[in-house]
Amino acid sequence: MAVRIRLSKRGRRKLALYDIVVSDSRSPRDGKFIQKLGTYNPNTNPATVVLNDELTFDWVMKGALPTDTARTILSERGVMFKKHLQIGVDKGAITQEAADQKYSAWVNQKHAAKTSSSDALAGKKEADKKARLAAEVKVKEAKAEQVRAKKIVAENPVAAADLAEAAEAPAAEEPAAE
């Protein structure tokens, strides 16, 4: 019996969620499975993966073959790297302590990269928010100036003529300067 680690779709249309399952390769995608290993939600940014790494590693070492998408998810989580190191230990190429040390260093590096990425994303969101706020303030001030000018025109027509001359004067100087 060929055993595969694959995604089983659930959720609704255009908002799919997936279960990461171990199943017989002959069973349908959303059909019978042997064991559920975790979940995958591609709708979030970044995609959310909840996975029992130890159980998944156990299945991979027993010979369960992941599909392409499942292999990508397992690689991101470090299960495939851990398998690679464990095969080296089984063959005698490296010791178990060295393999554990390499794996923990990889996990720390991955965690640091993910943290910096999420911090950068949060910083970008905050900068975009500040830029939008500044643009809104500019628009608000321009509208307030228009309202003030209309109010002056309504109250005093002589002051309105002075205001119109002041607005035309800088415009008249600009072409002369060119």
* Percentage with pLDDT > 90 across the chain: 51
Least confident range of 18-32, 58-72, 108-122: 108-122
CATH C-level class of 3-80: alpha beta
3-class SS at 30?
A: coil
Tokens matching residue 149: 């000018």
pLDDT surpasses 80 at 170:
no
Task: Give the confidence band of 23 by pLDDT, cuts at 50, 70, 90.
Answer: very high
Q: How confident is the model at residue 52 (pLDDT cuts 50, 70, 90)?
A: very high
- pLDDT, tens only, 86-132: 999 999 999 999 999 999 999 999 888 888 877 788 888 888 888 99
User: Which residues in 144-177 are b (16+ Cβ under 10 Å) and which e?
Assistant: eeeeeeeeeeeeeeeeeeeeeeeeeeeeeeeeee
**CATH 3.30.1320.10 spans which residues of the chain?**
3-80
